[in-house]
Amino acid sequence: MSVNSNSLVLLGVGDVGPIHEPMEAYSALARPVLASADIRFAQCERVYSERGALQVHSAGGHSRVKPPLASVFTDCGFDVVSVASNHAMDWGEDALLDTIALMESKGIKTAGGGRNLAEARRPAIIEKKGIRVAFLAYCSILNEGYAAGPNKPGIAPLRAHTYYRSVDYQAGVPPKVVTIPYEEDLADMVSDIAAAKATADAVIVSLHWGIHFVPRLIADYQTTAAKAAFAAGADMILGHHAHAPKAIGVHGGKTCFYSLSNFMMSSTSKTPAAAVAFEKKYGVKLDPDYPHLAYGEDGKRSLIAKAVITKAGVQKTSFLPVLIDKQLRPEVLKKGDARFDDAVRFMNWASEDFDHRFVVEGDEVVVSGAAPA
């Protein structure tokens, strides 16, 4: 996929962290496509450790898995991962630090977590073909105590306040939900991006954020943070957490993938009562053909973000439509396949409220701002 010797190709995917073996099966269909890139990025959705204790306020009992299951990351050849997930501290500090150490032992760089806030905010740097790419990662979905501190392990935070604004004079009319990034977290992210841009040719920002399961819904703070990141020098944003694809928006000529969705994931299946409760809470149906991908019927849709990077930064962005099959293997779709066309239609629908223009070129969909009127 490399364009020439003066550029490199980055492929970025969303959540990775299946809990059902065998691990090597998950990458069977996507591995050749991933192997053609120069740099591969993923979001690490689990912790890999035998240590730690489940935090009392966490519902993430499934989020700690045995270290050998991390082989899925080497099977795919990932070069860098974000560990800044909402589950990263479910089992406490030891499990997070074990995960970081395990990834590094496999030659995989990590971003977004560490022994203190300075480490969590530190970029992961990859240099290939003389092109230096910095990766920063933050999480907006944090339980109390999950954020790193000056002397405390944890995750680089990008938290948000939630307010409710009345939209009608009649009592009982649902209010507008307003979300605003924490000023200090936003300032830290902006500072980190500017510092990274001073030493790197491109800065890729990974954000674990947003509202899961519900299609199209984007919180206010996400667009605020995206625009601030781009203004500070970020070249592209890779978003995840939602377990479904969401909008692709172009801000000032730069591309934000608000959610890349699942990539290689599995989950515990829901009981009939739990499935009914899920559908009532989120207004999203589960797919009975995917009992171990219990994230909603769009959870099987996925994207691979692609960027062509030179010394001058990201020159081109696109996406590869992906559909996860019933064996939970992501399949990269090809032009001419009706499923490819359906994926492009879905992404246009999901992105309606954002500046975007999608043009199919070969088996990829090139992203740009809307054409001038």
Judge contact between 56 and 16, C-beta under 8 A: no
pLDDT at residue 372, rounded to an integer: 55
pLDDT at residue 303, rounded to an integer: 98
**Percentage of the residues of the chain whose pLDDT score is greater than 90:** 96
Give the integer Cα–Cα distance in Å for 177 and 160.
12
pLDDT band, residue 2 (cuts 50/70/90): very low
List CB contacts of 72: < 8 A, sequence separation 6 or more: 16, 17, 18, 23, 26, 27, 264
For residue 60, pLDDT beyond 80? no
Write the pLDDT tens digit of every residue in 149-178: 999 999 999 999 999 999 999 999 999 999
pLDDT band, residue 20 (cuts 50/70/90): very high
Range list of H helices, the chain: 31-35, 71-75, 92-105, 117-120, 183-197, 220-232, 272-282, 338-350
User: Minimal CA–CA distance to 154: which of 105, 87, 106, 220?
Assistant: 87
Write the pLDDT tens digit of every residue in 340-371: 999 999 999 999 999 999 999 999 999 999 85
Q: Which residue reads 């993923």 in tokens?
A: 42
Helix (H, G, I), strand (E, B) or coil at 164: strand
Dihedral pair phi/psi, residue 3, rounded to 5° = -75, -50
Once rounded to an integer, what is the mean pLDDT over residues 291-317? Answer: 97
Give the integer Cα–Cα distance in Å for 198 and 364.
31
List CB contacts of 345: < 8 A, sequence separation 6 or more: none
pLDDT at residue 371, rounded to an integer: 59
The radius of gyration of the chain's CA atoms, rounded to the nearest angstrom, is 19
